Amino acid sequence: MSDIRFNGRVAIVTGAGAGIGREYSFELAKRGAKVVVNDLGGARDGAGASSAAADGVVEEIRKAGGEAVANYDNVATMQGGEGIVKTAVDTYGKLDILINNAGILRDKSFVKMTEAEWDAVIAVHLKGAFCVTQPAVRVMKDNNYGRVIFTASTSGLYGNFGQTNYGAAKLGLLGIMNTLKQEVGKYNILVNSIAPTAWSRMTEDIMPEAIGKKMKSKFNAPLVLYLCSEDNKESGRTYVMGAGWYGRTAIVCAEGICLGDTERDISVEEIRDNFVKIDSLDNNEVLNSGLEVFKFMGPLLS
Ligand code: NAI
């Protein structure tokens, strides 16, 4: 089998000035991609801005013989998203790969969370994914090729104390992916999500140090690069990873139970009496579209 290469491919990595995004950029460039290293250069909570983060990574890539250009736009605005994509097109003539990775944290328990903390996190993760991905997909569509990654989180998939804002934004990305995969598949654009784990400034006070230090950022890059490669044929999938473990996760729908006959009323007591079956995850399936849920209602609809 040949090596996976990205020669001739142009990639954008958002939030690539540090942590996990830096690893993606470096590895993509090492394997021949031309990389737009985007980073606003703010603090962990999103405050401030500096060109130093993106410039540092670009310098490192160039020193290692790779090709990269810095961009300092904010992913959370439409103007910023368009600016990031324009940097790719103006500098390298096209765009093949987008890794939505930029992120901030404003943790607070739900009852104490302010509107500003809610809005800031939703803006960077959820709206940011829209602002960058829409102009990116427009370019990819014209080239009939694209690979898009959304960065979700186990906090959104399964929950994490103090992160209702972050969890909502992260799970929202799966909502974007589930529909976007249907809209862009015919243009050979594949859209996948990942929930990474890494010891970074984002997690250094969340994970215990002994475990955290095994969660090296670099272990997230191999699967993400594979998903961004021509070899990958999957779209609409979500993968979780950390420390060298990689696995798939999915939202499933269980077989459940059909009650009534589509005419007669269904009582609350009937729900109570059948709740074990309603609550069971037995015979579940991963659905490829919202309409597929109708198949479970089959006996009622035929
Ligand atoms: P990090 O804080 O080291 O890197 C995030 C980068 O995004 C920073 O360099 C920051 O300047 C940049 N950024 C923030 N807001 C931006 C904006 N509006 N526009 C452009 N750039 C912006 O964090 P880390 O750990 O590398 O996280 C990367 C991604 O992975 C984030 O989306 C994070 O939520 C996600 N993630 C990380 C996990 C972990 O264990 N570290 C767990 C689950 C998800």
Distance (angstroms) between ligand 1 centre and the Cα of 98 equals 15
The predicted structure's pLDDT at residue 150:
99
54/31 Cα distance (integer angstroms): 19
The residue ranges of every structural domain in the chain are 10-249, 252-301
**Residue 84 CB–ligand 1 contact under 6 Å:** no
For tokens 């969660």, the residue is 215
**Three-state DSSP class for 192?**
strand
Ligand 1 in reach of 36 Cβ (< 6 A): no
With a 6 Å cutoff on the Cβ, whether 74 touches ligand 1 is yes
* pTM summary value: 0.98
Residue with CA closest to ligand 1 atom 33: 103
Could you please report the per-residue DSSP string of 68-104? EEEE---TTSHHHHHHHHHHHHHHHS---EEEE----
What confidence score (pLDDT) does residue 194 get? Answer: 98
pLDDT given at position 201: 86
**What's CA 170's distance to the chain center, in Å?**
7
**Ligand 1 pocket, mutate which of 55, 132, 202 (most atoms under 8 A from CB):** 202
Single-letter amino acid, residue 149? I
pLDDT at 302: 87
Site to substitute for ligand 1 among 58, 101, 201, most atoms within 8 A of C-beta: 101
Q: Mind listing the pLDDT tens digit of every residue in the chain (302 residues)?
A: 799 999 999 999 999 999 999 999 999 999 999 999 999 999 988 999 999 999 999 999 999 999 999 999 999 999 999 999 999 999 999 999 999 999 999 999 999 999 999 999 999 999 999 999 999 999 999 999 999 999 999 999 999 999 999 999 999 999 999 999 999 999 999 999 999 999 988 888 888 999 999 999 999 999 999 999 999 999 999 999 999 999 999 999 999 999 999 999 999 999 999 999 999 999 999 999 999 999 999 999 98
pLDDT of residue 204: 84
Residue tagged active-site, from 166, 187, 226, 239? 166
- The correct answer on CATH 3.40.50.720 for the domain covering 10-249 is yes
For ligand 1, is residue 172 a contact (CB within 6 Å)?
A: no
pLDDT value at position 202? 84
Q: What count of Cα atoms within 13 Å lies in the side-chain half-sphere of residue 296?
A: 19
The reply to whether ligand 1 has any atom less than 6 angstroms from the CB of 240 is: no
Binding site membership of 14 for ligand 1 (Cβ less than 6 Å) = yes
Q: Is 92 a catalytic residue?
A: no
pLDDT at 205: 83
Find the farthest-apart pair of alpha carbons in the chain and give their distance in angstroms, rounded: 73
Q: What is the pLDDT of residue 200?
A: 86
Q: In Å, how far are 48, 166, 250, 296 from 106, measured between CA atoms?
A: 14, 8, 27, 40
